[in-house]
Chains A and B, each alone.
Chain A
Amino acid sequence: MFAFTLRRLAQSTFVLVAMSFIVFLGVYAIGNPIDLLVNPQADEIERARATVALGLDKPILEQYWIFLKAAARGDLGRSFVYNVPAIDLILSKLPATLELAFAAMLIAVPLAIPLGLVAGLKPDSLIGRAIMAGSILGFSLPTFWVGLVLIMVFSVSLGWLPSNGRGETTLLFGVPVSFLTADGLAHLILPAFNLALFKLSLLIRMTRASAREAMLQDYVKFARAKGLKASRVIGVHVLKNILIPIVTVIGLELGSVIAFAIVTESIFAWPGTGKLLIDSINQLDRPVIVAYLMVIVGLFIIINFVVDVLYSMLDPRVRLGSAAAH
């Protein structure tokens, strides 16, 4: 177990460093931020001074090395636009994104598993087919368009829910969250649902496929031969088996939800890291872009790692190893 952990850690570090290089190279090759940040009427001397001040005159590789050293210290540069450390900027916006992501998963998962089970156990029934058709729809619709429609229906036509911003926040362990206030919650609902829809469809399809496969297994036959009630056969035997791969998928999807949040945040003007990223790209605020990518890559690596560990803990075959004794 220790060797496994060590190996994964080493792998992850390698990926992190490689990504940082690619990202750095790419991002620092865009345009010339000087043109954006310095008064167009400034003369050459001022521009030169600004260039040196921002470290943009050094060769690329040297810039990368400086960057790496600083990154190891936790310093990912200062935002060109806001003039604060980039990492602080990202971290300040991260809670909003995480809150959105978790809310979305909290909507998607408890809905997906029962729906997927029903669709898997009664595939030819009306409700089974309806669920599948719904999931195809949810899967196909582009997230941003769904967000649009949600705004159209719930904000413009019905006027029930706000479509902009985050609303009131309160502090939970020093971190601002919005779900604890009614206003905050109202602001959270539409974007969270928007984000959840795609994942919901994916998870329903996965659960359905797993359930269908599980029902064909011999242990289901044996469980029925013991005279167990159908509710127990499905609720314990089948569920426990399919939960293992599904839990791992959920974990991995969390990472992708955080990335998808970029679109949702843009539509609903949710002040999270996604919106920050888009703005930074448009403003050529390189340090922020780099910091964002590094944080995201780091998050992904952590999530992957946790999922691996979780899987080995949940599946007794992996956890205990096979000791075909006697």
Chain B
Amino acid sequence: MSASLLEVDRLRMHFFTRAGVVRAVDDVSFSIGEGRILGLVGESGSGKSMTGYSIMGLIDAPGRIVSGRISLEGRDIATLDAEGRRRLRGTKMAMIFQDPMMTLNPVLRIDTQMIEAILAHEKVSRESALARCREALVKVGIASPDERLHSYPHQFSGGMRQRVAIAIALLNRPRLIIADEPTTALDVTIQGQILFEMRKLCRESGTALLWITHDLSVVAGLADEIAVMYAGRLVEHGSVDEVLDRPRHPYTRGLMYSVPASNARGRPLRQIPGMTPSTLQLPSGCAFRERCARADAACQAEPEYICTPDGCGARCFHPHDDPFVLPFEAKEPVA
């Protein structure tokens, strides 16, 4: 395995609100190697975006990192001060967000928004910065970059804007890119293109990619490894083949069943019963137990994250052991 570029070790990030403490990120650990892609999967409220923000250092009061280690290229960055964090952002680590219409400033020109990303960290001439911007735009597949540079965000389509955002992320040759649902707001066809291009870029430049999404099918084709989060906790982690062929955690299985493609035609879509608990009122012990068919008295205690010899793990007292088979092929009962 290549050396880990990013290591997250038992990260905890809490929000201290008037209504109570929200454990947005609760004991999350994973690592990503150079040129590798990790898909972080979970529903909204599972803490996946917050994990991304914590790594980037974009957490504001009333939230803060409570414990744990984040190391980038071997250096612990969680303990850096604000200025230290700022210097890493946009240089060693870059982030792409979900809705590019909102993430690009509507009243500033594209070239302004691109050049400032360079000039914030290096003293170079405007001309050379512009040249780099042009290169970056071409790299993400935008022809006629000069025209684009003089335009405003609202003059582009969604896919184009997201490409610009990606280009901005690539400007300073980051070692790590965190992508927070970047294709959710786009057409399916554009989605496919962008996925493909991101994968290519990462392989070519050795950049690690953390792809945050709620959509399992997206990461299935893209990622090398998958990590699943629920209610702020990491519940399963492994290579993409392992997680998709033999999901251990009941929640992961539930997610797989609810993907429309894995349901038979004409039958009602399978759903995980119940609803995601509010983060202020998590059940004690295993957060998933109230929705799990396999839960019993043992689940009242908090399960630890158990790693198996073959490299993957699950946070469960009763993990599955068998391969995942699509229901309409199997004869055995579900879950």
Answer whether A and B touch in the complex at a CB cut-off of 8 Å.
Answer: yes
* Chain A: minimal CB distance from B39 (Å): 20
Interface assignment of A1: CB less than 8 Å from any CB of chain B:
no
Q: Would you call A236 and B108 a contact (CB within 8 A)?
A: yes
Q: Would you call A228 and B90 a contact (CB within 8 A)?
A: yes
The 8 residue pairs across chains A and B that have the minimum distance between CB atoms: A227-B90, A227-B89, A218-B102, A222-B103, A225-B95, A226-B90, A219-B105, A226-B117
Task: Give the residue name and chain of the A residue nearest to B112 (CB).
Answer: A236
A–B Cβ pairs within 8 angstroms, 25 of them:
A218-B97, A219-B104, A221-B58, A222-B95, A222-B104, A224-B89, A225-B56, A225-B89, A225-B94, A225-B95, A225-B97, A226-B90, A226-B116, A226-B168, A227-B88, A227-B90, A228-B86, A229-B120, A232-B120, A236-B116, A240-B108, A244-B107, A317-B106, A324-B156, A325-B156
Task: Give the residue name and chain of the A residue nearest to B108 (CB).
Answer: A240
Place the interface of chain B in its size category: 20 to 34
Q: Would you call A325 and B155 a contact (CB within 8 A)?
A: yes
Q: Would you call B105 and A223 a contact (CB within 8 A)?
A: yes
Query: Which chain B residues lie closer than 8 Å to A241 at the CB level?
Result: 105-107
Task: Give the residue name and chain of the A residue nearest to B157 (CB).
Answer: A324
Q: Give CA–CA (A222, B94) in the complex, Å.
A: 10
Q: Would you call A240 and B157 a contact (CB within 8 A)?
A: no
Interface assignment of B54: CB less than 8 Å from any CB of chain A:
no
Q: Would you call A222 and B165 a contact (CB within 8 A)?
A: yes
* Chain A: minimal CB distance from B211 (Å): 16
Q: Would you call B105 and A227 a contact (CB within 8 A)?
A: no
Q: Would you call A237 and B105 a contact (CB within 8 A)?
A: yes
Quick one: which of A217, A225, A227 contacts B102, CB cutoff 8 A? A217
Interface assignment of A157: CB less than 8 Å from any CB of chain B:
no
The digit string for A301-317, where 1 denotes a CB below 8 A from any CB of B, is: 00000000000000111
Task: Give the residue name and chain of the A residue nearest to B120 (CB).
Answer: A228
Q: How many A-B residue pairs have CB under 8 A?
A: 91
Task: Give the residue name and chain of the B residue nearest to A315 (CB).
Answer: B107
Query: Which chain A residues lie closer than 8 Å to B104 at the CB level?
Result: 219, 222
Interface assignment of A32: CB less than 8 Å from any CB of chain B:
no
| Contacts known (A218-B99, A221-B58, A325-B155); A316 close to B89, Cβ less than 8 A | no
Q: Give CA–CA (A228, B94) in the complex, Å.
A: 12
Query: Which chain A residues lie closer than 8 Å to B89 at the CB level?
Result: 224-227
Q: Would you call A227 and B120 a contact (CB within 8 A)?
A: yes
Q: Give CA–CA (A296, B160) in the complex, Å.
A: 49
Q: Would you call A227 and B155 a contact (CB within 8 A)?
A: no
* Chain A: minimal CB distance from B278 (Å): 22
Task: Give the residue name and chain of the B residue nearest to A124 (CB).
Answer: B61
Interface assignment of B91: CB less than 8 Å from any CB of chain A:
yes
Interface assignment of A322: CB less than 8 Å from any CB of chain B:
yes
**Given A218-B99, A227-B91: 18 more A-B contacts, CB < 8 Å:** A219-B102, A219-B105, A222-B95, A222-B104, A226-B116, A226-B120, A226-B168, A227-B90, A227-B121, A240-B105, A241-B106, A316-B106, A316-B107, A317-B106, A317-B107, A317-B154, A320-B152, A323-B155
Interface of A is mostly: helix
Q: Give CA–CA (A247, B191) in the complex, Å.
A: 40
Q: Give CA–CA (A326, B155) in the complex, Å.
A: 10
Q: Give CA–CA (A237, B86) in the complex, Å.
A: 17
Which residues of A from 222 to 256 have beta carbons under 8 Å from B?
222-229, 232, 236-237, 240-241, 244
Place the interface of chain A in its size category: 20 to 34
* Chain B: minimal CB distance from A196 (Å): 28
Interface assignment of B87: CB less than 8 Å from any CB of chain A:
yes
| Contacts known (A225-B56, A228-B90); A316 close to B154, Cβ less than 8 A | yes
Q: Give CA–CA (A316, B157) in the complex, Å.
A: 16
* Chain B: minimal CB distance from A254 (Å): 23
Q: Give CA–CA (A326, B148) in the complex, Å.
A: 11
Query: Which chain B residues lie closer than 8 Å to A244 at the CB level?
Result: 107
The digit string for A194-223, where 1 denotes a CB below 8 A from any CB of B, is: 000000000000000000000001110111
Q: Give CA–CA (A323, B168) in the complex, Å.
A: 22
| Contacts known (A218-B99, A225-B56, A226-B116); A320 close to B105, Cβ less than 8 A | no
| Contacts known (A218-B102, A232-B116, A237-B108); A225 close to B90, Cβ less than 8 A | yes
Q: Give CA–CA (A240, B103) in the complex, Å.
A: 15
Query: Which chain A residues lie closer than 8 Å to B117 at the CB level?
Result: 226-228
Which residues of A from 64 to 100 have beta carbons under 8 Å from B?
none
Q: Give CA–CA (A322, B151) in the complex, Å.
A: 11
Q: Give CA–CA (A245, B87) in the complex, Å.
A: 33
Which residues of B from 51 to 90 have beta carbons under 8 Å from A?
56, 58, 86-90
Q: Would you call B155 and A320 a contact (CB within 8 A)?
A: yes
Query: Which chain A residues lie closer than 8 Å to B157 at the CB level?
Result: 324-326
Q: Give CA–CA (A202, B106) in the complex, Å.
A: 26
Quick one: which of A237, A240, A322 contacts B155, CB cutoff 8 A? A322
Q: Give CA–CA (A250, B3) in the complex, Å.
A: 58
Q: Give CA–CA (A70, B160) in the complex, Å.
A: 61
| Contacts known (A228-B116, A326-B160); A221 close to B121, Cβ less than 8 A | no
* Chain B: minimal CB distance from A126 (Å): 16
Task: Give the residue name and chain of the A residue nearest to B53 (CB).
Answer: A221
Q: Would you call A240 and B91 a contact (CB within 8 A)?
A: no
Interface centre among A217, A221, A325 (most CB of B within 10 A): A221
Query: Which chain B residues lie closer than 8 Å to A232 at the CB level?
Result: 116, 120
Q: Give CA–CA (A13, B24) in the complex, Å.
A: 60
Q: Would you call B154 and A322 a contact (CB within 8 A)?
A: yes
Query: Which chain A residues lie closer than 8 Å to B90 at the CB level?
Result: 225-228
Q: Give CA–CA (A250, B58) in the complex, Å.
A: 34
Query: Which chain A residues lie closer than 8 Å to B156 at the CB level?
Result: 324-326
* Chain A: minimal CB distance from B85 (Å): 9
Query: Which chain A residues lie closer than 8 Å to B91 at the CB level?
Result: 227
Task: Give the residue name and chain of the A residue nearest to B156 (CB).
Answer: A324
